[in-house]
Structure 1
Amino acid sequence: MSRQRTVNDQGFWHSPLLQGCTTEDKTALLHLLTSPVSNIIGAYPLVPRIAAAEVGWSQDQWLQVIERLRAEDLVWFEPVRMFVWVRVWWHHNLASQTLGPKLRARTLDNIRQLPEPWLGPFLDAYKARLSEEHRTLLDSLLAGHLTAEVSSVPYGYGIDGSSNFSRHNTNNKTNSKVTPTPDAPARSPVDKLGIPASCLAQVEAAIAQAQRKGVSKADKQVILAAVAKPFRAGHPPRDAGAYAYAVAQSLVTTPQQSTTSAEPSKSELKAWANRCFCWPNENPSNFIRVEESGFCEQLTLKEGKARHGYAPLSRGELLSALRQGTLREVSAAVFEDLAKGAWL
């Protein structure tokens, strides 16, 4: 049976959240808001291959667009479980109606299917759209103190029955990181390894990509444990996805790696930590910053743009050059300016 999904036209096309989005980005977001497999809370399982086919794209194209939407915090996507959360869902649907007698059982079931690291951020964003009365009801339902009333008739989708959400949503935003409320303070839950929920989907996507390309065959949990180290040490990487991909690569011995010298010692890493160098020396457009984790953050300037990534210090001749002291050191402020795009 088909269902009606309503999108607030002015709230979508005139939304300041979408100002930096491309036509592809908006098409993908519109599809996620109206997907045939969507549910009443805007967080649901989604197969990339099928979603891509529905909009006439390849799977790779769809994943690239979703990654841009993820970077703008408009969408979260968990590639392993193939689960999506449309972060602007409540801009177009009334949260209060999901707790009506006919819908609350379905709502609770949908919430319980969320990936565990997403539960806290989702509830923060959800509760921010509810009245005090509805927040109390939701807490009671989640705690099991009340029974969700299940109607004997098929579930309706009352939240899709009206398109006039403009007044309700004018001053509200889904992004719990910038609109915390006293009843639902902004939180950054972490998994048991210490990786923040806001980074976990990006990290897992990078690991899956590395394994899919065959550049890493290490177990996912082993890679996650290695990626988590700088987070637990209080020095999170600037780009969690790029860092995870580099870690995944480093956990497989390649012919290039087998010819390098031993791994850097803790004392060496401590001495080099946060220092910046031009590498290789003959290319003044490549820069690295050494991290105590045993990796280096890389910046490559090409055609006026900076490309960003990570690599293990033991790869190639970098470690030998560091030990020999032959690299040209640059100011950390220069590296930061480049990283922030100040010179682009």
Structure 2
Amino acid sequence: MGRQRTVNDHGFWHSPLLQQCTTEDKTALLYLLTSPVSNVIGAYPLVPRIAAAEVGWSKDQWLQVIERLRAEDLVWFDPERMFVWVRIWWFHNLASQTMGPKLRTRTLENIRRLPEPWLAPFLADYKARLNEEQRELLNTLLAGEFSENDASVPHGYRIDASSNFSLYNNNANAKPNSNVTPTLEAQAQVPVDKSGIPPESHAQVEAAIANAQRKGIVKADTQAIIAAVAKQYQAGRPPRDAGAYTYSIAQNLASVATEPSPPAPPSESELTAWADLCFCWPTDNPSSFIRVDKAGFCEQVTIENGNARHGYMPLGPSKLLVALREGRLRKISAADFEDLAKGSRP
């Protein structure tokens, strides 16, 4: 008798995570979400030859598609153990249900079958989707089976971590996945504060940010995106799809412009070197002219509507000081400056 598998139609066809996926990619994902050999945790043994035959593909075609999905971190696949982890499984299935009385035993059996290197990241991802009571229950049930070190990941697990197992790729034209994708903590040196977002939405938010980072469309830093998403929850208007909302924020939220540090004040040696020198800018058709004073001021003449406006201003720290240091101002003679100060063009 067939089992019922649920796929959230909106969460699948409108998912920002799948925007770059081909028709083949989506077909493979639908198969993995509904496969006859799937289990309640979305991580199970899978024989590529059989999976390919059930979809109507060749084995090579199946492996090429799986490699693309692995590169997008939508799937992990270990070709030696023939084991797959469907990374979007919890977007379509409730993790909390797997800790219910009817499924609890089966869930633990499936966890025991995970490849050992996958255990820590899987548990970290899985626990993030459970409430505190369920996490405590899971820890109790797992006690004695796995050591504490096996079940934890230093600095927290990120949804965009990469798998070392998917090394097989029959696609001769496939580009190697050699670029390291920035992760949430690589973006910011301080821990990211997600306290304004419910724990059950953390994984979706992290996945959307990671996906936006991979696509190179992120305009703001991770903490700014998190803060913008948190405002929706704090205002009592939680987004219907946390992942889609976060992806949109990541794509459109501009980073707050930061003012550059002001330049250091002019040194005594600089003032000595510039004393009594005259400069103008812009280089072509200049309209501003200065004569530097050794005391750190400069006499300034600005031409506005053909009239000369005369004044004094401190040299630094200012953009003018930076331009002087970088040699971007053109020198003029002292006689020309005197003529300008008197209101006549040299």
How does the TM-score come out when normalised to structure 2? 0.45
Q: Which of 1 and 2 has greater Rg?
A: 2
